[in-house]
Structure 1
Amino acid sequence: MHTPASVQPATPLTQPSDKKIIALMVVLVLFSPLAIDIYLPALPMMVSEFQVASTLGQDTITWFMFSMGLGQLFAGPLADRYGRRPIALTGIVIYGLSAALAYSAQEMEMLLIARLLQGFGACATSVAAFASVRDSFGAEKSGRMISYLNGAICFIPALAPILGSYLTIHFGWRSNFSFMAGFALVSLALIAINYKETKPKNTVQTGRLISPSRYWSVLQHPTFLFHATLCMLAMGVILAYVTSAPVLLIDKLGLTMQEFTNWFAVNAVLNIMACFAAPKFMVRFGTKKALLFGLSVLVIAGGLMLSFQHIQQAWAFMVPIFFSSVGFAWVLGSAAGKALAPFGDRAGTAAALLGLFQMSGAGVIVGTMQRLALPSAQLLALMMWLLIPGLLILLTKTGQRWHSGITEK
């Protein structure tokens, strides 16, 4: 099928200005995956030093995710009122200071508080980034840009655990947080110099800053609600993976930090390939087929995870994860853009609510399920199969209407 000439101007990253915007947005969205992935190999060591249960170690990730999503309820309206740039700069400062607090923590409770604060910082940079993408590229093209953005940040799961292993082995687990603080300092200078405001002049910014009606106007839109829920459930799969993997692979299966990071790197490479393939597929065949493909792959991954659960080898856990990472990339790439598409005048608020679903929602679901003490394979399979209703709905006329929203011509 040949791509019509009428859509050629929307081909991603064809202008130098497009590349600069995406490069700066990559810097802003790196804060979140870096805060999660760099210290994963050190989790067992942290749990051992503080002498706490492994679930508390996993909470350092789920608490971060929860506050990252919750904070966007404030960051979104602030971004709509005061602009994307000041919100991004403030978030970087909060992130860096909380990383320094985590570095100096002497008790698990203090580390958890630091991680909670760090999530608020990361949420501000994330809201600014995705709102700027929506500002700069419009309703349809923003979906493909988000997929490219996700592809770029997928390098972090490949590289961060390797760096984290090196830092942990040579300087201790705390050095991971000192690295985060240094990254924040460098990024602060880079963003302050190069990031120009993108907020449209028609952005809604009157009335109370936190207005229930403002959020309700977004939540009542079925296009947003459907796609944001899919993003939340897909993110839950990845969160369940990153919190379960260190305990299962290092503690139970006895992998070394290097072996652990090798598996992580392979998975990240597959994720990168999927993130960059998804927008090309969307341009050629549309977002609906891309979403159907991603959901189907996640459901298949759940079946593989259950089938392999009795095999006590790393590959039996990671092969289904490989499938789920591909499915996740295609679901997020197609669903996130669709969730934000109807809200050109409220992009900050819509991005905030999407982040609440994606981060806090996933954090609550996974954190709760981990308390049920399910085996890792069963927990992950359950998370993957929670997307089955979404797949079935998308095949109906109602689901097709929700997916089309007001953006299809």
Structure 2
Amino acid sequence: MSTRRIPPLYVLVLATMTGPLALNIIVPSMPGMAREFDVDFETIQFTLTFYLIGVAFGQLIYGPLSDRFGRRPLILIGAALFTAASLVTAFADSANWVIVGRIVQALGACSGMVLTRAIVRDIYSRERSASMLGYIMMAMAVAPATAPAIGGYIDAWVGWRASFVLVGGLGLVVFVACLTQLSETNLKRNETLDLLGQFRSFGKLLRSPAYVGYTGCAAFTVGAFFAFLSTGPYYIIEVLGAGSEQYGIWFIIISVGYIAGNLVVGRFSVRYGGDRVVFLGSAASVVGGLALIYGAVVETTSLAAIFLPMCLVTFGNGSSQPIAIAAAISEAPHMAGAASGLIGFSQMVVSLLVTVTIGQLLTDSAWPLVISVSGAGLLSFGCYFWAYSVNRRNRGT
């Protein structure tokens, strides 16, 4: 009888971080790409927009298919697709081909993002899977934080095409690592189940109040971060007059807060229980949100009054998100792939909606930033508390 072999943590980390790294590594190169292809900057921005759309919808495909065919073949297909698309895009001769390449690249990259969550839940209990996801998500925080710096240096010394070669090489490493180190973890798949039935599993998940609540928590934690990304640069650089280098240095504090939250989950969720860790993180987020509100009321222009409270908010998000994801997938472990895919899709949709909506509401005031970040944080905690209450009520009956 087949048994699950626990894959090395570095394999799951590599598979997870490839997508976020590829998303942001070309950001510093975008102005130069626009000049090279003689197109406006808005056209090059589609390389980011369509990448996010590809990641969102790709997760809906990989999740259910992995419940039917297994995690390993799907993650290998995704890694191969990502590698090929990255290398082809490196030699694109027009902006349109870069955009097409980015769509295919995203469809490959999202396999690692969605299937590592399902693999972790296949192997571990709810509390232990939250702990492991905490460590894995640290990589997802480090990758987008460091990718622009890496891409900037590559662009300056070699050119933007080398960035695609680099991530293509990383994709090849992921493929080889998964091929040699990753065994199949979905041992309970139903070989006779029709594919249409696999996609109907989304409806079953959405009829579970606890799953919807935990997924909402995971989605709004990401939404809070994108709310800051949508409003922070404009308010801090354009309104307050800070330099882009100041913004970049202060932004490190936000990343540190999120990573610290992930670390708390990894170290303490098994020992003290995920719910306690979430409530601790939520308390930090509330304090951070109140501090942001106070700063807006007194109209402070201090960068510390923005970034230090945001550090508390991202600490809360970092400590809540892995636990919420693990809890959501635990509501339907027999279709962990579909559950993971729907979570990832929800996160991308909320992020896109927040980015588009808040972008239309920018003013020379701090209030759009404060309201969007604090509001997303409160919605995140509200969703988790609702799911927690549903489960407590069900256990009591």
| Normalised TM-score (structure 2) | 0.83
Give the direction of change, closer, same or farther, for the CA distance of 1:39–1:335 in structure 2 (3 Å limit). Answer: same
Counterpart CA distance in 2 for 1:66 and 1:143 is 27
Q: Which among 216, 227, 237 is matched to residue 214 of structure 2? A: 227
Counterpart CA distance in 2 for 1:256 and 1:172 is 22
Aligned to 1:97: 84
Counterpart CA distance in 1 for 2:66 and 2:94 is 34
> Equivalences for 1:236-275 in 2 at 5 Å?
236-242=223-229, 253=241, 255=243, 261-275=248-262
How far residue 312 of structure 1 moved from its aligned partner, in angstroms, is 6.1
Counterpart check, 1:209 vs 2:195: yes
Q: Which among 163, 167, 171 is matched to residue 176 of structure 1? A: 163
1:299-328, Cα deviation, whole Å (9 max, x unpaired): 444444455566667555533432232122
Of 179-188 and 284-293, more deviation after overlay is shown by: 284-293
Question: In structure 2, what residue type is equivalent to 1:85?
Answer: R
Counterpart CA distance in 2 for 1:45 and 1:264 is 24
Structure 2's unaligned 5+ residue stretches are none
Counterpart check, 1:385 vs 2:375: yes
Question: In structure 2, what residue type is equivalent to 1:400?
Answer: Y
Counterpart check, 1:321 vs 2:283: no
Give the direction of change, closer, same or farther, for the CA distance of 1:124–1:61 in structure 2 (3 Å limit). Answer: same
Counterpart CA distance in 2 for 1:307 and 1:108 is 45
Aligned to 2:275: 288
Would the aligned equivalents of 2:134 and 2:266 in 1 still touch at CA under 8 Å? Answer: yes
Aligned to 2:352: 363
Aligned to 1:154: 141
> Equivalences for 1:270-349 in 2 at 5 Å?
270-305=257-292, 308=295, 315=304, 317-349=306-338
Q: Which among 13, 17, 23 is matched to residue 26 of structure 1? A: 13
Tell me the SS of whatever aligns to 1:154.
helix
Aligned to 2:342: 353
Tell me the SS of whatever aligns to 1:198.
coil
Question: In structure 2, what residue type is equivalent to 1:362?
Answer: S
Aligned to 1:70: 57
Would the aligned equivalents of 1:134 and 1:142 in 2 still touch at CA under 8 Å? Answer: yes
Aligned to 2:105: 118
Give the direction of change, closer, same or farther, for the CA distance of 1:240–1:401 in structure 2 (3 Å limit). Answer: closer
Would the aligned equivalents of 2:226 and 2:354 in 1 still touch at CA under 8 Å? Answer: no
Give the direction of change, closer, same or farther, for the CA distance of 1:205–1:255 in structure 2 (3 Å limit). Answer: farther
Would the aligned equivalents of 1:44 and 1:246 in 2 still touch at CA under 8 Å? Answer: no
Give the direction of change, closer, same or farther, for the CA distance of 1:369–1:181 in structure 2 (3 Å limit). Answer: same
Of 180-189 and 336-345, more deviation after overlay is shown by: 180-189
Tell me the SS of whatever aligns to 1:192.
helix
Counterpart check, 1:401 vs 2:394: no
Q: Which among 62, 71, 75 is matched to residue 84 of structure 1? A: 71
Question: In structure 1, what residue type is equivalent to 2:194?
Answer: R
Counterpart check, 1:165 vs 2:152: yes
Give the direction of change, closer, same or farther, for the CA distance of 1:312–1:93 in structure 2 (3 Å limit). Answer: farther
When the two chains are superposed, the root-mean-square deviation of aligned CA atoms in Å is 3.4
Counterpart CA distance in 2 for 1:337 and 1:77 is 17
Give the direction of change, closer, same or farther, for the CA distance of 1:107–1:311 in structure 2 (3 Å limit). Answer: farther
How far residue 226 of structure 1 moved from its aligned partner, in angstroms, is 0.5
1:79-117, Cα deviation, whole Å (9 max, x unpaired): 112111111111112222332354345555544433332
Q: How many residue pairs get matched?
A: 387
Question: In structure 2, what residue type is equivalent to 1:79?
Answer: S
1:172-220, Cα deviation, whole Å (9 max, x unpaired): 34432232112112222222222111112x2345433133532111111
Counterpart CA distance in 2 for 1:355 and 1:102 is 25
Tell me the SS of whatever aligns to 2:195.
coil
Counterpart CA distance in 1 for 2:395 and 2:76 is 32
Would the aligned equivalents of 1:299 and 1:385 in 2 still touch at CA under 8 Å? Answer: no
Give the direction of change, closer, same or farther, for the CA distance of 1:367–1:172 in structure 2 (3 Å limit). Answer: farther
Give the direction of change, closer, same or farther, for the CA distance of 1:108–1:30 in structure 2 (3 Å limit). Answer: same
| Normalised TM-score (structure 1) | 0.80
Counterpart CA distance in 2 for 1:158 and 1:219 is 33
Would the aligned equivalents of 1:80 and 1:205 in 2 still touch at CA under 8 Å? Answer: no
Give the direction of change, closer, same or farther, for the CA distance of 1:388–1:268 in structure 2 (3 Å limit). Answer: closer
Counterpart CA distance in 2 for 1:228 and 1:393 is 8
Counterpart CA distance in 1 for 2:16 and 2:118 is 12
> Equivalences for 1:29-44 in 2 at 5 Å?
29-43=16-30
Give the direction of change, closer, same or farther, for the CA distance of 1:129–1:389 in structure 2 (3 Å limit). Answer: closer
Of 357-366 and 323-332, more deviation after overlay is shown by: 357-366
Of 134-143 and 242-251, more deviation after overlay is shown by: 242-251
How far residue 78 of structure 1 moved from its aligned partner, in angstroms, is 1.4
Give the direction of change, closer, same or farther, for the CA distance of 1:145–1:76 in structure 2 (3 Å limit). Answer: same
Counterpart CA distance in 1 for 2:86 and 2:269 is 38
Counterpart CA distance in 2 for 1:217 and 1:125 is 24
Percent of pairs with identical residues: 24
Counterpart CA distance in 1 for 2:342 and 2:261 is 25
How far residue 384 of structure 1 moved from its aligned partner, in angstroms, is 3.6
Counterpart CA distance in 2 for 1:41 and 1:66 is 21
Structure 1's unaligned 5+ residue stretches are 1-16
Would the aligned equivalents of 1:65 and 1:119 in 2 still touch at CA under 8 Å? Answer: yes
Question: In structure 2, what residue type is equivalent to 1:388?
Answer: L
Give the direction of change, closer, same or farther, for the CA distance of 1:407–1:79 in structure 2 (3 Å limit). Answer: farther
How far residue 127 of structure 1 moved from its aligned partner, in angstroms, is 2.2
